[in-house]
Amino acid sequence: MTTVERPAPSSSVRLIDTIAGPRVANRTSSDWQHLPYTRFDLEPMAPTIGAVVAGVSMADELDRETFAELNRALLEWKVLFFRKQNLTHPQHAAFARNWGELESHPFARVRSDQPDEPEVLRLEKGPDVVGRENLWHSDVTWRLCPSLGSILRAIELPAVGGDTLFCDMSAAYDCLSDEVKQYVDGMFAVHDWITTFGRGMDPATRDRLRPDFPAVEHPVVRTHPETGRKMLYVNIAFTQHIVGLSQADSDELLAYLYRQASFPEYQCRFKWASGDVAFWDNRSTQHYASSDYFPQRRVMDRITIVGDRPY
Ligand code: SIN
């Protein structure tokens, strides 16, 4: 990978871009969009991201046509929501396997009542553990091949709160100014788990895991392997710095790029109910789990599908 010294973008660009929100309407054009769905009903939640799918039982085997339409819906809407599914762990895993091999999370605590499937990551919050997924992120971008998608299932919910928000990172990229696009296209950034999962770890464990999970470099603008769309691919949880920039310039540019995920124009927000499932395309989205329910319990099971190397 080549390391290039880049000049900082002109200050006029930075000023305009940091004081204003998105300056153009969301662009959603692509060939496969707006084709009808025939195997289920689909109700969009926001102009470019989030749709509720009705008429699919996730517990049942998917036929080829339904799988193909669900995948098209996932690419188009980036996160799909399924109400009242009440899946078992094997059904959850079997549904996910339609999209590929499943990941095990190397840093997950192994619990005595861990569900049978090793691929199920239990996220359990309550009076003793506060929700910490309340920062915009894509899952496991510290992997060389971060996950294709995650499928999250509600197990136990607070009376109110605990919503999950999602952001469309292709819309975020589309709405950057041409000058900023030109500046960031072709850049790479370092992603690492050390500042999150590594923080509370004892040094011996950290050293043991390090060789298997070194810091990795990913493009700042990623191309979606199925749609060909460009997406902003840095996140505040795992991105450390931009290759070839001074720490100060990298921090400034990253702060600007992270801020793009905060615009409601690119977002949808899901209010969970018992039995619900969310399936997001982890390549084109970031998410944020609102941690507003302490000390109530919120228990979720997540399964992630192995993805490919970003380019
Ligand atoms: C996650 O960050 O993967 C979990 C999101 C959630 O618990 O809503």
For residues 70 and 53, the answer to whether their CB atoms sit within 8 Å is: yes
Question: From the candidates 6, 105, 137, 143, which is the catalytic residue?
Answer: 137
Q: In what order do the strands lie in the sheet with 188-191?
A: 216-219, 188-191, 239-242
Dist. CA 124–CA 111, nearest whole Å:
11
Phi and psi at 155, nearest 5°, equal: -105, -45
- Amino acid identity of residue 234, one-letter, is V
pLDDT at 272: 98
Task: Note the pLDDT tens digit of each residue in 216-235.
Answer: 999 999 999 999 999 999 99
Count other C-beta atoms under 10 Å from residue 3's C-beta. 9
Residues in the chain, pLDDT under 50: 1-4, 12, 15, 31
Alpha carbon dihedral 203, 209, 211, 215, in 10-degree steps, equals: -90
139 as an active site residue: the answer is yes
Closest residue to atom 1 of ligand 1, CA basis: 133
Q: Looking up tokens 């095990």, which residue turns up?
A: 104
- Residue 86's contacts (CB-CB under 8 Å, 6 or more residues apart) are 274, 275
Average pLDDT value for the chain = 90
Question: From the candidates 6, 17, 92, 139, which is the catalytic residue?
Answer: 139
Dist. CA 211–CA 157, nearest whole Å:
37
Dist. CA 61–CA 115, nearest whole Å:
21
Task: Note the pLDDT tens digit of each residue in 16-46.
Answer: 555 566 765 555 555 455 689 999 999 999 9
Tell me the whole-structure pTM to 2 decimals. 0.92
pLDDT at 118: 78
Q: Is 172 helix (H, G, I), strand (E, B) or coil?
A: helix
Which residues in 205-246 belong to E strands, given as ranges?
Answer: 216-219, 221-223, 230-232, 239-242
Could you tell which of 125, 134, 139, 287 is best to mutate to test the pocket of ligand 1, judged by most ligand atoms within 8 Å of the CB? 287
CA-to-CA dists, residue 259 to 20, 131, 187, 228, 254, angstroms? 11, 21, 18, 24, 8
Dist. CA 207–CA 87, nearest whole Å:
38
- Residue 280's contacts (CB-CB under 8 Å, 6 or more residues apart) are 78, 79, 80, 149, 150, 152, 166, 287
